[in-house]
C-alpha cells in the first residue's frame, strides 16, 4: 500500500497549520514524521487517517484519492499516544473490538486475536483489564489491535512517549521487527529524533508548517537541508559558529586557525557554520599557544564530552571516543577533522559543505 | 515489565534522646498536645453531629418501639408492633408504592434527559457554552419556584397546558383531580429542577472522555448508536452510577414539592414517604408510627448511601 | 468533496435545531412564569395570555403588599450564617483528620462519614423537640444550629487537605508554627478553591431548606423565602397568579445570577465530590 500527499494544506480558522506538504511513501516502508511539538505532525497523521478533513490538496492511498473516504474504509489502523484502550474491556475484548464492530465471524475474530496476543507476548494476560497491566503491556495491547486488524497501513502517534527510557529502547526494536514481519507500511509520528533515526527508512522533518526535508536517516544526518534540520538531529547537538567568507582563498574563516576550505563559489560575506561535535578534534597546545581553552570536560566512559571557548569568544562542544583527563583552562589547538555545513545566514538553507583535513 | 514496588523496610536506629529516655517523655508530651488539639478541632463537629444526628436517630428508634397517646407521650412498649402495623396498613403500603413509582420515574427521566442534554452539548459548535449555561440553569431553581411555575402550567382552568389543549380541541386534563396526572406532574417538576445538576455532572464526564477512544472507533468503523451504547455508556458508567444514587436519595427524601403542589393528593396518590411521616407526626400526632416510618426511610437511604461510598472508594469502577 | 460539505452542513443544521429545541424545553417554565408575572391577573385568569398590556405592577404589588423582601433577607441571612459556620467547623474537623495524629482517628472519621447515611428528614421529630426544649423555635439560631457542620463538607475538605504536600507541614513544624497557625496561614489559603466550592454548596442547600423551616418558623420575621412562598400561596388570594409569579421571579432571578457567576466553582465541586 503506497501513500501520496499532494500539496496538502490545513488551516484552522484561517491560521495555517500545514502548508504545501508533498510526500510519497512506498509500500512496506517505515516512514517517520518528526518535528517539535505543535509543528502539525499529528494533524498530518489524522488527515491521513481521515479523522480531520483536508483543507486543500489530495491524499492518495494506493493511487486512489481518499479525501472523501471515511476513516473506516481507508483500510488502516492507528496506535495512539495514550493507546486508546477501553478500560472496561479485557485485553482480548479490546483487540476484538474493531473486528466485532465490523461484524466479522466469531471464529475468525478469535483466530486473529490469538495470533495477535501471541505475537506481542500477551497470551497470559488475555482476560485482564488494562488497568491491571503495566505501561509496556498496555502499549502491546495497542500493537496487538493493529496486528489483528490485518490492515496493511499502520499509523502510530508517538506510541512510545509514555514509556520509560529502557522500555522505549526495547519497544523500538520490537515495533521495527513487527513492521518487517507483517510488511506494514508504517507512518510513525514522533518528536524524538533518535527514534526516527533508529527506526525509519525515510524521515520527514516538519517545522513551521512546512516540510523541511525528506530523506533517509543518514541522508538527513550527513546532508541537512537547513539549519533547523541540522540542529534537530544529532546528539550532542551541533555547534553553530559564525564565519566569514574569504572569496580569494575559497575559505570560511571562523578564527585564524579554524579555516574551512570549500569547493563552490559563495556570494555573501558572513555565513553560519554548523559543525557536529564529533567532527572536531584538537591537540594540546604548546607554550600557551593554540586557539581555544577548555572550559568543561565530562567523561562518560565510552566517550568524553568537552566544551571549549575560542579566543574570539565562541563556545563549542566536541566529543572524543576515548577517555581523557585534562585540566580546565588547558590551551588547545582546535581543528575540523570531518564535515562542516555552511548555511546561508538569511535563508538558513545549506549553502556548502566543507570537508576538513584530519591532522591525525 | 511489571513496575515492581520496592518496599524498603527501614530499621530505625534509636537516637540518643530515645536511649536516654528523654524521647519517651517528649513523645508523651506531643501525644497529649495532639489530643488537646484534636478535641479543639474535631470536638465541635462531633458534638453537633451527636446532638442533631446520632441522638435523634437513637431517639427515633426508641420512639418507634412504643405506642404514643394523643398528646405525644409514650405509653406502652410495642416492640416491633408499629412496624407490623405499618406493613399491613394499606395507607402506608400505598405510600411506599407511590414513592417507588415516583423515584423510578424521576430517575429514568432525569438520566435519559440528562444524557440527551450532555450528548447534545458535547458536540463542539459555536455558542456551545451559551447552550451549556441554559442547560444547567435549573440548578438555580429552588423548590418553591419550581412548584409555582409548574402549578401554573398544570392549572386545570387557566394553566397553559389546558389552554393549548383547548386551542387544539384536545380533551382537557385535570391535573388536580386525576391521581395519575398528579403523579406525572410532580415527577415532571422534580425532573426539571434536577436536570441542571444531572446535566452538569454528566457533561463533565463526557468532557473527560479521551478523544483518542473516539478516533479509534472512527477508524474501526463504529456507528454512532453502537458507539453510544458500547463506548460512551460503559465509559461514563461510574458517573451514571453516581448520578443515579444521588437522584434516588433526593427523590426518596422529596417533601417540599409535594407539600406545595399536591399536599399528598388527590386521593393520596402523591403521598410520598416523607410527606406521610410529616402527616403522621405533625398533623395526626402519631409520633411512634411516624418514628417507625422514619427508621424505614433511614434504612433505604443508608443502603443507597452505602452504595455511593463503594463508588467513592473505588474512584473509577468499570 | 461537495457531498461531504453538504453532509456536514446538514448535520450542523440538525444539531443546532436539537440544541434550540432542548433549550426551549428547559427555558419554557421560566419563560411562562416571567411572562405571566408581567400580566394583569384578570388577563391570566381569563386566559388572555397575549395581546394585553404588560407592566411591572405585579412586582410592585408583591414588594409592597407581601413580606417577600423580609423573606428574602431572612433566607440570605440564614444561608450566610449556615455557610460561614459550616466552612469553619468542617474545615477544622477535616484538619484534625488530616494533620493531627490522635487515637482512634479512623474510627471518628467513619463515625462522621456514617452520618451521611442518616437522612435529616427521618429525624425531624426528635430534632424538633430538642430545638423546642432549647427555646429556639422560630429563631435564626434554631434554623442554623442543626446545620453548622456536615459530613459531606468534612469529607470534601479532607480530600482537599490531603492534596497539601506533607512537607509543608514539616516545614511549618520546623518553623515552630502551632496547629492553629498552620491551619490559618497554610491550610485555608492553600485549599481556597475547595472552600469556595463548599461555600457555594452549603449556601445553596441552606437556601433550599424546606421541611425544617416549615416546622420551626411561625412568623414572617423569621420565615425564609421557600416557606414564605407557601405562606403567600395559601394566605393571599390563591388566585392572584400575577403577583405569585412575580414573587417567584423575584426569588429566582438573584439565584440565577449567582449561579451564572458561580458556575466554575459548582463544576469543580462536582468533580471533587464525584471523582476523587
* Residue C73 pLDDT exceeds 70: yes
Residue-level pLDDT at B1: 37
Q: Are residues C105 and C223 in the same domain?
A: yes
Q: Are residues B175 and B234 in the same domain?
A: yes
φ and ψ of C182, to 5 deg: -65, -40
- Whether residue B248 lies inside any domain: the answer is yes
- Whether residue C252 lies inside any domain: the answer is no
* Residue after which a domain boundary falls, among C34, C58, C82: C58
Q: Are residues C214 and C87 in the same domain?
A: yes
Q: Are residues C72 and C125 in the same domain?
A: yes
pLDDT confidence band for B214 (50 / 70 / 90)? confident
* Residue after which a domain boundary falls, among B10, B29, B64: B64
- Whether residue C160 lies inside any domain: the answer is yes
Residues B216/A80, Cβ–Cβ less than 8 Å: yes
Render pLDDT for B3-41 as a digit per residue (tens, 0 to 9). Answer: 343 433 444 555 555 555 555 666 677 777 788 888 999
Q: Establish if C174 touches chain A: CB-CB under 8 angstroms.
A: no
Residue-level pLDDT at B20: 56
Q: Of C34, C69, C90, C68, whose CA–CA distance to C205 is shortest?
A: C90
- Find the closest chain B residue to C44 by CA distance: B158
Cα B48 to Cα A286: distance, rounded to the nearest angstrom: 87
Q: Are residues B184 and B299 in the same domain?
A: yes
* Residue C5 pLDDT exceeds 70: no
pTM value?
0.80
Render pLDDT for C216-264 as a digit per residue (tens, 0 to 9). Answer: 999 889 999 988 888 887 765 556 888 888 888 888 887 888 777 776 6
Residue-level pLDDT at A247: 85
| CATH number, residue B233 | 1.10.3720.10
Q: Establish if B130 touches chain A: CB-CB under 8 angstroms.
A: no
Q: Are residues B114 and B216 in the same domain?
A: yes
* Residue A69 pLDDT exceeds 60: yes
* Residue A360 pLDDT exceeds 50: no
C contacts of B200 (beta carbons < 8 Å): 266-267, 270
Residue-level pLDDT at C268: 59
Q: Is C88 left (phi over 0), alpha (psi -120 to 50) or beta?
A: alpha
How deeply is A169 buried, as exposed, middle or buried, from its count of CB atoms within 10 A (0-12, 13-18, 19+)? middle
pLDDT confidence band for C49 (50 / 70 / 90)? confident
Q: Are residues B300 and B181 in the same domain?
A: yes
- Whether residue C12 lies inside any domain: the answer is yes
Cross-chain residue pair B45–C93, CB shorter than 8 Å: yes
* Residue A102 pLDDT exceeds 70: yes
Residues of A with CB under 8 A from a CB of C: 53, 67-68
Q: Are residues C23 and C82 in the same domain?
A: no
φ and ψ of A358, to 5 deg: -80, 115
Render pLDDT for B178-209 as a digit per residue (tens, 0 to 9). Answer: 888 899 999 999 999 999 889 988 988 888 88
Q: Are residues C79 and C196 in the same domain?
A: yes
Cross-chain residue pair B60–C123, CB shorter than 8 Å: yes
- Find the closest chain B residue to C231 by CA distance: B260
Q: Are residues B36 and B119 in the same domain?
A: no
- Whether residue C189 lies inside any domain: the answer is yes
* B45 → closest Cβ in C36, C92, C103: C92
Residues A61/A75, Cβ–Cβ less than 8 Å: yes
* Residue A115 pLDDT exceeds 70: yes
- Whether residue B51 lies inside any domain: the answer is yes
Task: Give me the residue label for grid cell 517545522.
Answer: A207
Q: Establish if B318 touches chain A: CB-CB under 8 angstroms.
A: yes
Q: Are residues B264 and B205 in the same domain?
A: yes
- Whether residue C255 lies inside any domain: the answer is no
Domain count, chain C: 2
pLDDT confidence band for C265 (50 / 70 / 90)? low
Spell out a b/e string for C218-251, using b for 16 or more CB atoms within 10 Å of the CB, else e. eeeebbbbbbbbbbbbeebeeebbbbbbbbbbbb
Q: Are residues C224 and C105 in the same domain?
A: yes
Across residues A175-185, what is the average pLDDT?
92
Residue-level pLDDT at A65: 92
- Whether residue B43 lies inside any domain: the answer is yes
Domain count, chain B: 2
The DSSP call for residue A226 is B
Q: Are residues B236 and B103 in the same domain?
A: yes
Measured torsion, CA atoms of residues B137, B138, B140, B143, in degrees rounded to the nearest 10: 170
Q: Establish if B225 touches chain A: CB-CB under 8 angstroms.
A: no
Q: Are residues B49 and B145 in the same domain?
A: no
Q: Compare A223 and C201 and report the one with higher pLDDT.
A: A223
* Residue A321 pLDDT exceeds 70: yes
Distance from the C219 Cα atom to the nearest Cα atom in chain B, whole angstroms: 18
User: Percent of chain B scored above 70 by pLDDT?
Assistant: 87
Q: Establish if C89 touches chain B: CB-CB under 8 angstroms.
A: yes
Q: Are residues B50 and B172 in the same domain?
A: no
Residues forming a β-bridge with A56: A9
Q: Are residues C95 and C218 in the same domain?
A: yes
- Whether residue B75 lies inside any domain: the answer is no
The overall average pLDDT reported for chain C is 84
C contacts of B255 (beta carbons < 8 Å): 121, 210-211
Render pLDDT for B112-146 as a digit per residue (tens, 0 to 9). Answer: 999 999 988 887 777 778 888 889 888 888 888 99
Q: Are residues C26 and C80 in the same domain?
A: no
Q: Are residues C47 and C74 in the same domain?
A: no
The C residues from 2 to 21 touching A (CB cutoff 8 Å) are: 3-4
- Whether residue B94 lies inside any domain: the answer is yes
Mutation target to probe the A interface, by most A beta carbons within 10 A, among B209, B211, B216, B241 is B216
- Whether residue B190 lies inside any domain: the answer is yes
Residue-level pLDDT at A117: 92
- Whether residue B32 lies inside any domain: the answer is yes
Q: What is the ipTM of this complex?
A: 0.84
Q: Are residues B226 and B129 in the same domain?
A: yes
* Residue after which a domain boundary falls, among B14, B34, B64: B64
Across residues A131-140, what is the average pLDDT?
90
**Binding partners of C (≥3 Cβ pairs within 8 A):** A, B
Residue-level pLDDT at C80: 93
- Least confident among A263-267, C4-8, C99-103: C4-8
* Residue C273 pLDDT exceeds 60: no
Query: Which domain covers residue C208, as residue numbers?
Result: 67-236
Residue-level pLDDT at B163: 81
How deeply is B40 buried, as exposed, middle or buried, from its count of CB atoms within 10 A (0-12, 13-18, 19+)? middle
Across residues B144-163, what is the average pLDDT?
85
C-beta neighbour count of C110 within 10 angstroms: 11
Helix (H, G, I), strand (E, B) or coil at A252: strand
Residue-level pLDDT at A347: 81
- Least confident among A122-126, A308-312, B71-75, C140-144: B71-75
Distance from the A189 Cα atom to the nearest Cα atom in chain C, whole angstroms: 27
- Whether residue C130 lies inside any domain: the answer is yes
Q: Are residues C38 and C110 in the same domain?
A: no
Residue-level pLDDT at B63: 86
Cross-chain residue pair A53–C4, CB shorter than 8 Å: yes
- Whether residue B70 lies inside any domain: the answer is no
Cα A92 to Cα A116: distance, rounded to the nearest angstrom: 10
* Residue B310 pLDDT exceeds 70: yes
The B residues from 94 to 113 touching C (CB cutoff 8 Å) are: none
Q: Of A172, A143, A228, whose CA–CA distance to A32 is shortest?
A: A172
Strand A350-355: give its sheet, edge to edge: A258-261, A251-255, A239-246, A270-275, A339-343, A350-355
Q: Are residues C194 and C222 in the same domain?
A: yes
Residue-level pLDDT at C64: 86
Cα A150 to Cα A115: distance, rounded to the nearest angstrom: 11
| CATH number, residue C124 | 1.10.3720.10
Render pLDDT for B41-94 as a digit per residue (tens, 0 to 9). Answer: 999 999 999 999 999 999 999 888 888 765 556 677 877 888 988 888 898 999
- Find the closest chain B residue to A49 by CA distance: B219
Q: Are residues C53 and C95 in the same domain?
A: no
Q: Are residues B256 and B225 in the same domain?
A: yes
* B222 → closest Cβ in A49, A101, A136: A101
Give me the helices (H) in chain B, please: 16-19, 22-49, 55-64, 81-87, 90-122, 128-135, 143-154, 160-167, 179-207, 211-220, 224-227, 233-235, 237-252, 256-261, 273-278, 287-314
Query: Which domain covers residue B304, as residue numbers?
Result: 85-316
Amino acid at each position: 500500500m503506497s501513500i501520496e500527499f499532494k500539496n496538502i494544506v490545513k488551516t484552522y480558522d484561517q491560521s495555517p497549520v500545514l502548508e504545501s506538504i508533498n510526500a510519497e511513501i512506498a509500500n512496506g516502508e517505515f516512514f517517520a514524521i518528526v518535528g517539535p511539538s505543535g509543528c502539525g505532525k499529528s494533524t498530518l497523521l489524522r488527515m491521513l487517517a481521515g479523522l480531520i478533513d483536508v483543507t486543500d490538496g489530495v491524499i492518495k492511498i494506493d493511487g486512489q484519492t481518499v479525501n472523501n473516504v471515511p476513516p473506516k474504509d481507508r483500510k488502516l489502523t492507528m496506535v495512539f499516544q495514550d493507546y486508546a484502550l477501553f478500560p472496561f474491556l479485557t485485553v482480548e475484548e479490546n483487540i476484538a473490538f474493531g473486528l466485532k464492530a465490523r461484524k466479522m465471524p466469531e471464529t475468525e475474530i478469535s483466530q486473529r486475536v490469538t495470533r495477535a496476543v501471541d505475537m506481542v507476548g500477551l497470551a497470559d494476560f488475555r482476560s485482564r483489564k488494562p488497568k491491571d497491566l503495566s505501561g509496556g503491556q498496555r502499549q502491546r495491547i495497542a500493537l496487538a489491535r493493529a496486528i489483528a486488524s490485518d490492515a496493511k497501513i499502520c499509523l502510530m502517534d508517538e506510541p512510545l512517549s509514555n514509556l520509560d527510557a529502557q522500555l522505549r529502547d526495547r519497544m523500538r526494536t520490537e515495533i521495527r521487527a513487527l513492521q518487517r514481519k507483517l510488511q506494514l507500511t508504517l507512518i510513525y509520528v514522533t518528536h524524538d529524533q533518535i527514534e526516527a533515526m533508529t527506526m525509519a527508512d525515510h524521515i520527514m522533518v516538519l517545522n513551521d508548517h512546512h516540510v523541511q526535508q525528506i530523506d533517509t536517516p543518514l541522508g538527513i544526518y550527513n546532508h541537512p537541508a537547513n539549519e533547523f534540520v541540522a540542529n534537530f538531529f544529532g546528539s550532542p547537538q551541533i555547534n553553530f559558529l559564525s564565519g566569514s567568507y574569504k572569496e580569494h582563498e575559497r575559505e570560511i574563516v571562523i578564527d585564524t586557525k579554524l579555516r574551512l576550505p570549500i569547493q563552490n563559489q559563495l556570494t555573501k560575506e558572513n555565513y553560519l557554520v554548523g559543525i557536529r561535535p564529533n567532527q572536531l578534534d584538537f591537540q594540546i597546545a604548546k607554550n600557551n599557544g593554540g586557539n581555544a581553552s577548555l572550559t568543561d570536560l565530562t567523561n562518560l566512559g565510552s566517550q568524553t564530552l568537552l566544551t571549549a571557548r575560542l579566543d574570539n569568544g565562541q563556545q563549542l562542544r566536541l566529543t572524543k571516543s576515548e577517555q581523557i583527563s585534562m585540566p580546565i583552562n588547558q590551551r588547545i589547538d582546535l581543528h575540523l577533522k570531518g564535515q562542516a555545513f555552511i548555511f546561508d545566514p538569511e535563508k538558513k538553507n545549506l549553502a556548502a559543505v566543507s570537508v576538513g583535513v584530519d591532522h591525525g | 515489565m511489571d513496575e515492581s514496588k520496592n518496599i524498603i523496610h527501614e530499621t530505625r536506629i534509636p537516637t540518643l534522646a530515645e536511649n536516654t529516655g528523654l524521647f519517651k517523655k517528649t513523645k508523651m508530651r506531643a501525644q497529649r498536645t495532639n489530643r488537646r488539639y484534636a478535641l479543639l478541632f474535631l470536638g465541635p463537629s462531633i458534638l453537633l453531629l451527636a446532638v442533631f444526628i446520632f441522638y435523634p436517630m437513637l431517639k427515633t428508634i426508641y420512639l418507634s418501639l412504643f405506642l404514643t397517646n394523643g398528646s405525644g407521650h409514650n405509653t406502652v412498649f410495642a416492640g416491633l408492633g408499629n412496624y407490623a402495623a405499618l406493613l399491613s396498613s394499606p395507607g402506608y403500603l400505598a405510600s411506599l408504592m407511590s414513592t417507588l413509582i415516583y423515584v423510578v420515574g424521576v430517575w429514568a427521566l432525569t438520566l435519559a434527559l440528562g444524557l440527551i442534554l450532555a450528548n447534545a452539548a458535547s458536540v463542539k459548535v459555536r455558542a456551545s457554552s451559551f447552550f451549556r449555561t441554559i442547560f444547567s440553569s435549573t440548578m438555580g431553581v429552588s423548590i418553591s419556584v419550581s412548584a409555582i411555575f409548574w402549578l401554573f402550567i398544570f392549572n386545570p382552568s387557566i394553566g397553559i397546558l389546558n389552554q393549548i389543549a383547548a386551542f387544539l380541541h384536545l380533551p382537557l386534563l385535570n391535573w388536580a383531580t386525576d391521581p395519575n396526572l398528579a403523579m406525572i406532574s410532580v415527577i415532571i417538576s422534580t425532573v426539571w429542577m434536577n436536570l441542571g445538576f444531572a446535566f452538569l455532572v454528566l457533561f463533565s464526564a463526557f468532557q473527560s472522555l479521551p478523544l483518542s477512544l473516539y478516533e479509534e472507533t472512527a477508524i474501526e468503523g463504529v456507528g454512532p448508536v453502537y458507539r453510544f451504547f458500547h463506548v460512551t455508556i460503559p465509559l461514563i458508567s461510574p458517573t451514571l452510577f453516581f448520578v443515579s444514587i444521588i437522584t434516588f436519595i433526593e427523590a426518596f427524601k422529596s417533601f417540599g414539592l409535594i407539600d406545595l403542589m399536591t399536599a399528598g393528593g388527590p386521593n393520596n396518590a402523591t403521598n410520598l414517604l416523607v410527606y406521610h411521616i410529616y402527616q403522621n407526626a405533625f398533623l395526626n400526632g402519631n409520633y411512634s408510627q411516624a418514628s417507625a416510618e422514619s427508621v424505614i426511610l433511614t434504612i433505604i437511604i443508608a443502603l443507597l448511601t452505602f452504595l455511593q461510598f463503594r463508588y467513592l472508594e473505588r474512584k473509577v469502577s468499570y | 468533496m461537495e457531498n461531504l460539505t453538504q453532509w456536514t452542513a446538514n448535520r450542523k443544521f440538525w444539531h443546532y435545531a436539537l440544541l434550540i429545541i432542548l433549550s426551549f424545553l428547559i427555558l419554557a417554565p421560566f419563560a411562562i412564569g416571567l411572562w405571566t408575572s408581567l400580566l394583569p391577573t384578570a388577563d391570566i385568569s381569563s386566559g388572555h395570555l397575549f395581546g394585553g398590556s404588560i407592566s411591572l405592577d405585579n412586582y410592585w404589588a408583591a414588594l409592597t403588599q407581601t413580606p417577600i423582601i423580609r423573606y428574602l433577607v431572612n433566607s440570605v441571612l440564614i444561608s450566610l450564617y449556615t455557610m460561614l459556620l459550616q466552612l469553619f467547623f468542617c474545615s477544622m474537623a477535616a484538619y484534625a483528620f488530616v494533620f493531627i495524629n490522635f487515637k482512634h482517628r479512623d474510627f471518628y472519621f467513619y463515625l462522621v462519614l456514617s452520618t451521611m447515611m442518616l437522612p435529616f428528614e427521618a429525624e425531624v421529630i426528635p430534632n424538633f423537640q430538642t430545638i423546642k426544649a432549647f427555646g429556639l423555635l422560630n429563631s435564626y439560631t434554631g434554623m442554623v444550629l442543626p446545620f453548622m457542620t456536615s459530613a459531606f463538607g468534612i469529607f470534601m475538605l479532607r480530600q482537599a487537605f490531603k492534596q497539601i504536600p506533607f512537607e509543608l507541614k514539616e516545614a511549618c513544624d520546623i518553623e515552630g508554627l502551632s496547629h492553629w497557625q498552620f491551619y490559618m496561614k497554610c491550610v485555608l489559603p492553600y485549599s481556597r478553591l475547595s472552600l469556595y466550592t463548599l461555600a457555594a454548596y452549603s449556601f445553596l442547600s441552606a437556601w433550599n431548606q424546606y421541611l425544617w423551616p416549615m416546622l420551626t418558623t411561625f412568623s414572617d420575621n423569621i420565615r425564609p423565602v421557600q416557606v414564605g412562598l407557601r405562606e403567600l400561596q395559601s394566605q393571599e388570594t390563591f388566585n392572584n397568579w400575577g403577583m405569585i409569579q412575580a414573587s417567584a421571579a423575584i426569588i429566582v432571578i438573584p439565584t440565577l445570577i449567582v449561579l451564572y457567576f458561580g458556575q466554575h466553582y459548582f463544576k469543580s465541586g462536582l468533580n471533587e465530590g464525584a471523582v476523587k
